């Protein structure tokens, strides 16, 4: 762990926003470095953090005593890969590395198992078969013969048995991994998959087989009928695989192969003891899960139990455990209040609490119950429920739906009949053991618990059931709670018995202070989601750097998008849903245009109005009279008391003018209860109309439509208007955003000395920042790099520094301003939907003091934008990213290619065949697959580094102690790029870094060259500095290096001056490149001086892309007002940003002038001192 030693403090008079790191400043400020005493000069500052999909914006703004901005202390944008390795990847690096690790582990286990089988076959005197024989169709015919007849010749019989055993062992089928291999020794009936294979072979051959027929007999008979049939994998046509399975159709069962093995042993008179040995050897497997005890060592402990007994080792329980599901329901109800008509609020009685808890815990339907259902159970009106049940429609607080036992709901919907039947009858303890057994964690119990009933149920599950259980495990609630099973059960029982709320019960049971909460996890503590983990780690680094530099901030405001704290797989699912939604929306838009006879731009509110009318089949929701698009009006079923409105579609109704006028500002339920409604208006009729809505009109699923109907009906029954809007709906309700907020609060406030004000941490939705930017005209004020046609009315995503702009805006946000913005947006939506006079822009606050705050905030944002422009003009808002320096990344490409064909996409001809005696060109020698053969070839007589080897029919070489002759085949890679020979083909290699060399030539002429170092050449090297370790001449990195560089390294005229990795920042002088496409690009986008190393595809060139710019606007069509935007993308910009990038010779780049490789710390400051142990910036000339 690195610790902070000393920090340079820059006087306020110096130019803000860009500092050089002091020689002793902390490289990575970790636990324990932040203290409240650090802020000696009492710098007051606010922090804004903008969390995006693949980037994070940070901004620290110094403020005065009245929170007006003085200067920008720091502004930086950090780019990350969201845990996927780069744009376009949908699977996380963690998932891919897990797949690779399991494949390697499975390969090692298979090798060990086959090796032990060979030892057994040798002990039996049967011998070991050759791999060439096992790869042919012969083993199928041998297996058929072994079942059908006794082989008299002992030598032949033993050879046939050896072939059959080895063949079965290499293709041994599937069994439930939880069932032990001993269970295979019991005789079992043929499986359904065996019956399916029998039927398929009978259909193809026209023959009939007995019920005892074996797999070997069926496949051998089919091969006799059709020798070209595909057995495994997919059928290939024209050299390409189709989606049609081979005759085995994927998975087959080990029990069927054991039955065949039993018949073989009986027919060939093999003893029962030998048969058992063969079964145990061929079908041996390890337990599927690692030791639960080892996993449990990494699980956090329950702090409440530790407070009672420091020696207690109670692990935190999993969220999926039934004990937590019950606790969640009971604790939520205990914190709920009922507003009394006479005086104040009261909590639920013990009887009420138990009654509603039983109702929610017994709910197993996929459709969630509503708070109206809870109100009916309590026999009170819905509007009197407070606390957790306070409608999120009112204030953004509370829960939208009451909590239920999510684990039970998912178990019942898993479509595993025996599990559902067992679950209904099992007690809570047995249910917990089942969840521990099928979940992906190590369970919630403090010790290993063996439940024989659960183990027997799982071990007897079929392959289909096991697949469903695996899917169920993924759908169960993930993560762990702060309490152990012991605490959950004790607190739940206490609440149900006494009716105390959660805080009272914990205080009474464990003697902690009122309001006690568990200690939040460290900011950087991983949650298991690669994208989120990257965000947490970088936020922790930046905050710890900032607090060490300027002390504790006054406020930390976080803004995040929906994508910023989600995994790649979830984002891919959301993208697919969004594309389907957009397709449906465009269809509805065309229908609207055709039906209404309109064209041109449209507002979103117009389409919402049309959808509401179409859903109601052009009938007033209240009275049922016919209405049309020109005459109908939009009404809010439930208004607010402050004349603002909830404009969600479930609160909107298409109504006639008479009903809207008569209803006025009342809630519909209150209006119909008064009895003075127009004819035909009633609650029953309105509900009947809602239930008649068709899901096809909106393209919704049955479940989504049912949910919408229930929400609309719930609003129709409500008799009270919503309370005054307080703006909390603009706060983020995403679980991870709230978790990040808690962690930051815990970091700054947990050890806060008495008398020091707590750091305020707020998490806002991305919508808030967008509204704030528009309100203060920030997009027009900030001078970012823009594409042609960008008029500044919309967010500029071309310049990555837009995240710094968002971070600045969110840093200046206050709860009062957030409330005003929320009300403005609420009124805008309502006025556009109802086509009322749009006065929302004139709303600056409900009171005079709020209006004064608004005007002051606008002035603050304007001033801060001017300061931000100063940093932009001076190019002092860096864009950073983490560099991979350890040799722990990917070694090679996933897909092997053939050595006999040209590489996909390559212009090279088909590779020529060579033998050792042929004339071998130098480039072919450098591309041979075997490093040992390369060494022998370059040492051979007559070798020339430029020409290679001449033809010599008598040539012979010694290779690893063996003599090879002139007819020895030479395998070489059909590509100039570094590669690795695997499985008879090759794969492309990944580069770890590139070394830069200065070459002093004749007459002191200086040239620069590049040596790309493959990650595989660094494997197994125990060295502190991978960037200077000497490489073997036979390494693929050296063999594929530039010829002139290899010559210079050989004669000692080349000197290493530095190194580069992907993601490194290079600063250049843009005026040195006025020509070609790069010159046009710089003319189009301005003097971009900061570039990123994005590829190392050729031995002498590097690919650069602008660090400050993003290709996001180029990857998707931008829409404004329903029509394509007018962005104009020049060809040179598209080429550099979206396609090839700037491919430049390293020599030309270094010869152009002073080239700097910039390395930065978490604050974006240039690192110049090596004392931190991290790489420093360097000049390449």
766 backbone φψ class: left, alpha, beta (φ>0; ψ -120 to 50):
alpha
The mean pLDDT of the chain is 83
Secondary structure (H, E, C), 191-216? CHHHHHHHHHHHHHHCCCCCCCCCHH
Question: Is the pLDDT reported for residue 882 higher than 80?
Answer: yes
Domains of the chain by start residue, with CATH: 36-78+524-565+731-880 (3.30.420.10), 108-282 (no CATH), 317-481+483-510 (no CATH), 568-729 (no CATH), 897-987 (3.30.70.3520), 989-1059 (no CATH), 1062-1158 (no CATH)
- Choice among 50, 465, 614, 1042 that is catalytic: 50
Residue 978: name the closest of 988, 963, 970 by CA.
988
The pLDDT of residue 696 is above 80: no
Of residues 507 and 131, more confidently modeled? 507
**At a CB cut-off of 8 Å and minimum separation 6, what does 1059 contact?**
993, 994, 995, 996, 1027
Whole-number CA gyration radius for the chain: 36
Angle at 398 between CA 397 and CA 404, to 5 degrees: 155
Task: For 916, list phi and psi in degrees, rounded to 5.
Answer: -60, -35
Tell me the mean pLDDT in the region 523-548.
89
pLDDT band at 59 (very low <50, low <70, confident <90, very high): very high
**Is 50 among the residues known to form the active site?**
yes
CA gap 829, 765 in Å, rounded: 17
DSSP state of 1140: S
Q: Report the DSSP pairing between strands 1065-1067 and 1156-1158.
A: antiparallel
The residues that bridge with 315 in the sheet, in sequence order, are 301
Q: Is 244 helix (H, G, I), strand (E, B) or coil?
A: strand
Of 801, 805, 797, 804, nearest to 1118 (Cα)? 797
Rounded mean pLDDT, 462-475: 83
For the segment 1120-1124, the average pLDDT, to the nearest whole number, is 41
- The per-residue pLDDT for 245 is 79
Distance of CA 834 to the CA centre of its chain: 40
pLDDT band at residue 21 using 50, 70 and 90 as cut-offs: very low
Residue 156, judged by CB atoms within 10 A of its CB (0-12, 13-18, 19+), counts as exposed
In order, the DSSP letters of 235-299 are EEETTEEEEEE-TT-S--BHHHHHHHHHHHHHHTT--HHHHHHHHHHHT----SS--HHHHHTTS
How many percent of the chain have pLDDT more than 90? 39
Decide which of 83 and 302 is more confident.
302
Query: Where is pLDDT greater, at 562 or 866?
Result: 866
Half-sphere exposure of 1002 (CA within 13 A, CB side): 0
Angle at CA of residue 73, ends 1178 and 556, nearest 5°? 120
Q: What are the pLDDT digits (tens) for 601-619?
A: 667 788 888 888 888 989 9
Lowest mean pLDDT: which of 129-133, 857-861, 1095-1099? Answer: 129-133
pLDDT reading at 667 higher than 80: yes
CA 206 to mean position of chain CA atoms: 51
Contact 747/543 with Cβ under 8 angstroms? yes
pLDDT one-digit tens code per residue, 930-962: 999 999 999 999 999 889 999 999 999 999 889
Nearest to 463 by CA among 124, 881, 705, 174: 174
Decide which of 1003 and 277 is more confident: 277
Q: Which of 818, 824, 883 is nearest to 857 (CA)?
A: 818
Identify whether 64 is a catalytic site residue.
no
- Which region holds residue 112: left if phi is over 0, alpha if psi is between -120 and 50, else beta? alpha
DSSP assignments along 666-692, one per residue: S-HHHHHHHT-PPTT--HHHHHHHHHT
1128 burial (CB, 10 Å; 0-12 / 13-18 / 19+) is: exposed
- The CA distances from residue 688 to 142, 658, 772, in Å, are 72, 20, 42
Q: What is the pLDDT averaged over residues 370-387? A: 82
Q: How far is CA 141 from the centre of its chain?
A: 49
The answer for residues whose C-beta is within 8 angstroms of residue 113's C-beta and 6 or more apart is: 169, 281, 282, 284
Q: Residue with structure tokens 């203060």?
A: 776
Spatial distance between the Cα atoms of 469 and 421, rounded to a whole number of angstroms: 15
pLDDT of 293: 65
CB 19 within 8 A of CB 11: no
Cβ-based neighbour number of residue 769 at 10 Å: 27
Q: Residue range 764-784: average pLDDT?
A: 88
Of residues 901 and 854, which shows the higher confidence score? Answer: 854
Angstrom distances, CA of residue 573 to CA of 88, 90, 378, 569, 661: 14, 10, 39, 6, 44
> Alpha helix locations (H) across 597-682?
604-615, 657-663, 668-674
Say what the pLDDT of residue 19 is: 32
In three-state secondary structure terms, 336 is coil
**C-alpha distances in Å from residue 808, one per residue of 311, 559, 573:** 48, 11, 32
Q: What pLDDT is attached to residue 175?
A: 85
Query: What does the pLDDT read at residue 821?
Result: 87
| pLDDT at position 711 over 70 | yes
Question: Which tens digit of pLDDT belongs to each residue from 175-209?
Answer: 877 777 888 888 888 998 899 999 999 998 989 99
Least confident of 320-329, 467-476, 647-656, 782-791: 782-791
**Stretch 1099-1128: mean pLDDT:** 71
Chain centroid to Cα 515, Å, comes to: 35
Residue 580, judged by CB atoms within 10 A of its CB (0-12, 13-18, 19+), counts as exposed
Lowest mean pLDDT among 263-272, 300-309, 541-550, 1103-1112: 300-309
Q: What is the sign, positive or negative, of the torsion defined by CA atoms of 492, 497, 500, 505?
A: negative
Which pLDDT belongs to residue 601? 67
3-state secondary structure of 146: helix
Q: What is the pLDDT of residues 808-865, one digit of tens each?
A: 999 999 988 988 888 888 888 888 888 877 778 888 877 888 888 999 999 999 999 9
pLDDT recorded at residue 553: 94
Strands 234-237 and 337-339: unpaired
Asked if residue 670 lies in contact with residue 735, where contact means CB atoms within 8 angstroms, the answer is: no
CA angle 659, 664, 668 (to 5 degrees): 70
Comparing CA positions, the residue from 314, 321, 319, 312 lying closest to residue 300 is 314
Order of strands across the sheet that contains 991-1000: 1006-1014, 991-1000, 1054-1060
The predicted model scores a pTM of 0.82
* Burial annotation 682-708 (CB, 10 A radius, 16+ → b, else e): ebeebeebbeebebeebebeeeebebb
Q: Identify the CA nearest to 113 among candidates 272, 278, 270.
A: 278
Please, which residues have CB within 8 angstroms of residue 1078's CB and are 6 or more apart in sequence? 1132, 1136, 1142, 1144
264 has a pLDDT exceeding 90: yes
pLDDT for res 388: 65
pLDDT over 50 (residue 37): no
| Token pair listed for 1023 | 């060295």
Alpha helices in 348-484 (DSSP H): 350-361, 371-378, 392-395, 406-412, 417-425, 428-438, 452-459, 463-475
Collect all residues with Cβ–Cβ distance below 8 Å to 531 and sequence separation of at least 6: 82, 83, 84, 92, 565, 566, 567, 568
Residues with Cβ within 8 Å of 586's Cβ and at least 6 positions away in sequence, in order, are none
Task: Give the single-character DSSP code of 1119.
Answer: E
Residue carrying structure tokens 């359904």: 192
pLDDT at residue 1070 above 60? yes
Structure tokens at 345: 């609020």
At residue 186, φ and ψ (nearest 5 deg) are -80, 140
For residue 655, CA distances in Å to 520, 641, 828 come to: 50, 21, 20
Give which of 782, 741, 392, 777 is closest to 560, Cα–Cα: 741
Q: Identify the residue with better confidence: 35 or 729.
A: 729
Instruction: Indicate which residue of 636, 803, 992, 993 is catalytic.
Output: 636
Burial of 272 (0-12, 13-18, 19+ CB in 10 A): exposed
pLDDT (tens digit per residue) in 1076-1095 = 788 888 888 888 899 999 99
- Which range of 365-369, 531-535, 876-880 scores highest in mean pLDDT? It is 876-880
CA dist 643 and 646 (Å) reads 10
Name the one residue in this structure whose structure tokens are 């914990």.
506
pLDDT(29) > 50: no
Predicted pLDDT at 450 = 76
Tell me the longest C-alpha to C-alpha distance in the chain. Answer: 113
Question: Which has more pLDDT, 33 or 461?
Answer: 461
What residues does 964 pair with on adjacent strands? 957
What residues have CB less than 8 Å from 281, skipping those under 6 apart? Answer: 113, 116, 117, 120, 169
- Range in 235-249, 998-1012, 1069-1083 with the lowest mean pLDDT: 235-249
């Amino acid at each position: 762990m690195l610790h902070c030693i000393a920090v340079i403090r820059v006087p306020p008079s110096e130019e803000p926003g860009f500092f050089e790191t002091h020689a002793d400043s902390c490289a990575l400020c970790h636990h324990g470095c932040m203290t409240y005493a650090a802020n000696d000069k009492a710098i007051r500052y606010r922090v804004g953090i903008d969390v995006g999909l693949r980037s994070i914006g940070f901004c620290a703004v110094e403020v005065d005593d009245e929170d007006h901005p003085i200067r920008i202390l720091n502004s930086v944008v950090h780019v990350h890969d969201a845990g996927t390795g780069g744009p376009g990847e949908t699977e996380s690096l963690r998932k891919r590395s897990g797949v690779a690790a399991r494949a390697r582990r499975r390969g090692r286990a298979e090798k060990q198992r086959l090796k032990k089988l060979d030892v057994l076959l040798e002990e039996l005197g049967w011998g070991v078969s050759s791999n060439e024989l096992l790869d042919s169709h012969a083993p199928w015919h041998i297996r058929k013969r072994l079942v059908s007849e006794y082989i008299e010749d002992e030598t032949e019989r033993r050879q046939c048995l050896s072939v059959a055993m080895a063949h079965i062992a290499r293709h041994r089928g599937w069994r439930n991994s939880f069932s032990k291999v001993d269970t295979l020794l019991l005789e079992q009936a043929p499986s359904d998959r065996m019956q399916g294979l029998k039927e398929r072979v009978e259909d193809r051959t026209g023959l009939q087989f007995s019920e005892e027929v074996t797999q070997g007999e069926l496949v051998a008979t089919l091969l006799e009928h059709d020798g070209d049939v595909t057995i495994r994998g997919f059928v290939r046509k024209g050299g390409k695989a189709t989606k049609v399975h081979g005759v085995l159709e994927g998975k087959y069962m080990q029990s069927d192969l054991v039955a065949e093995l039993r018949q073989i042993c009986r027919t060939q008179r093999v003893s029962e003891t030998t048969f058992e040995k063969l079964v145990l050897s061929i079908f041996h497997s390890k337990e599927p899960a690692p030791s639960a005890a080892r996993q449990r060592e990494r699980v956090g402990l329950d702090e409440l139990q530790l407070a009672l007994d420091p020696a207690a080792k109670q692990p935190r329980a999993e969220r999926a455990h039934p004990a937590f599901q019950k606790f969640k329901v009971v604790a939520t109800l205990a914190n709920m209040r009922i507003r009394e008509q006479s005086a104040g609020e009261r909590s639920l009685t013990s009887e009420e609490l138990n009654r509603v808890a039983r109702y929610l815990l017994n709910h197993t339907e996929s459709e969630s119950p509503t708070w109206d259902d809870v109100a009916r159970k309590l026999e009170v009106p819905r509007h009197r429920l407070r606390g957790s049940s306070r409608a999120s429609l009112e204030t953004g607080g509370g829960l939208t739906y009451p909590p239920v036992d999510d684990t039970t709901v998912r178990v019942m919907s898993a479509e595993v009949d025996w599990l559902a039947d067992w679950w209904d009858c099992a007690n809570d303890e047995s249910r917990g053991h089942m969840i521990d057994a099928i979940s992906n964690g190590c369970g919630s119990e403090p010790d290993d618990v063996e439940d024989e009933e659960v183990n027997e149920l799982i071990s007897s599950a079929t392959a289909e059931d096991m697949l469903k259980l695996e899917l169920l495990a993924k759908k169960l609630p993930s993560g762990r709670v702060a309490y152990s099973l012991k605490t959950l059960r004790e607190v739940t029982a206490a609440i149900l018995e006494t009716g105390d709320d959660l805080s009272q019960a914990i205080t009474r049971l464990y003697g902690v202070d009122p309001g006690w909460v568990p200690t939040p996890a460290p900011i950087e503590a991983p949650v298991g989601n690669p994208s989120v983990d990257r965000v947490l780690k970088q936020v922790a680094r930046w905050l710890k750097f900032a607090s060490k530099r300027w002390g504790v901030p006054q406020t930390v405001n976080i803004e995040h998008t929906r994508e910023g704290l989600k995994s790649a797989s979830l984002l891919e699912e959301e993208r697919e849903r969004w594309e389907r939604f957009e397709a449906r929306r465009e269809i509805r838009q065309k229908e609207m245009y055709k039906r209404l006879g309109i064209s041109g731009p449209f507002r979103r509110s117009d389409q919402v109005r049309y959808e509401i009318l179409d859903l109601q089949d052009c009938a007033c929701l209240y009275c049922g009279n016919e209405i049309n698009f020109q005459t109908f009006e939009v009404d809010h079923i439930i208004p607010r008391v402050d004349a603002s409105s909830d404009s969600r579609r479930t609160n909107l109704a298409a109504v006639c003018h008479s009903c809207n006028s008569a209803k006025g500002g009342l809630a519909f339920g209150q209006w119909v209860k008064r009895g003075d409604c127009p004819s035909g208006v009633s609650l029953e009729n309105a509900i009947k109309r809602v239930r008649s809505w068709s899901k096809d009109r909106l393209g919704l699923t049955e479940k989504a439509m049912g949910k919408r109907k229930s929400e609309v009906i719930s609003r129709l029954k409500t008799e009270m208007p919503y309370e005054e809007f307080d703006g909390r709906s603009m706060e983020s309700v995403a679980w991870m955003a709230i978790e990040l907020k808690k962690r930051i609060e815990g970091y700054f406030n947990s050890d806060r000395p008495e008398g020091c004000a707590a750091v305020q941490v707020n998490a806002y939705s991305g919508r808030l920042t967008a509204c704030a930017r528009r309100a203060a005209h920030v997009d027009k004020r900030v001078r970012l790099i823009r594409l042609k046609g960008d008029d500044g009315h919309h967010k500029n995503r071309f310049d990555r520094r837009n995240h710094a702009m968002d971070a600045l805006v969110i840093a200046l946000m206050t709860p009062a301003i957030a409330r005003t913005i929320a009300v403005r947006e609420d009124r805008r939506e309502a006025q556009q939907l109802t086509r009322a006079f749009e006065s929302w822009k004139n709303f600056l606050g409900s009171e005079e003091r709020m209006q004064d705050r608004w005007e002051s905030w606008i002035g603050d944002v304007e001033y801060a934008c001017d300061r931000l422009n100063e940093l932009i003009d001076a190019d002092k808002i860096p864009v950073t990213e983490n560099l991979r320096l350890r040799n722990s990344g990917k070694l090679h490409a996933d897909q092997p290619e053939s050595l006999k064909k040209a590489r996909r996409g390559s212009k090279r001809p088909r590779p020529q065949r060579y033998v050792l005696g042929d004339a071998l060109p130098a480039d072919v020698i450098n591309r041979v697959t075997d490093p040992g053969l390369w060494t022998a070839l370059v040492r051979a007589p007559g070798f020339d580094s430029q020409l290679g080897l001449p033809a010599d029919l008598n040539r012979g070489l010694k290779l690893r102690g063996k003599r090879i002759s002139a007819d020895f085949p030479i395998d070489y890679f059909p590509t100039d790029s570094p590669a690795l020979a695997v499985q008879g083909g090759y794969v492309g290699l990944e580069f770890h870094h590139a070394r830069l060399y200065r070459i002093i030539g004749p007459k002191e002429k200086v040239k620069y060259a590049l040596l790309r170092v493959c990650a595989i050449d660094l494997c197994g090297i125990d060295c502190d500095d991978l960037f200077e370790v000497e490489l073997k001449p036979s390494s693929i990195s050296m063999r594929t290096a530039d010829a002139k560089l290899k010559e210079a390294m050989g004669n000692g005229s080349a000197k290493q001056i530095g190194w580069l990795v992907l993601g490194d920042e290079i600063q250049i002088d843009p005026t040195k490149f006025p020509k070609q496409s790069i010159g046009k690009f710089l003319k189009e986008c301005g003097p971009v001086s900061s570039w990123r190393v994005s590829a190392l595809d050729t031995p002498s060139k590097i690919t650069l892309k602008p660090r400050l710019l993003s290709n996001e606007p180029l990857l998707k069509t931008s829409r404004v007002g329903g029509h394509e935007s007018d962005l104009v993308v020049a060809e040179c910009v598209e080429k550099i940003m979206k396609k090839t990038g700037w491919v430049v010779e390293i020599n030309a780049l270094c010869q152009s002038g002073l080239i700097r490789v910039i390395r930065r710390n978490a604050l974006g400051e240039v690192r110049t001192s090596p004392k931190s142990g991290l790489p420093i910036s360097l000049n390449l000339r």
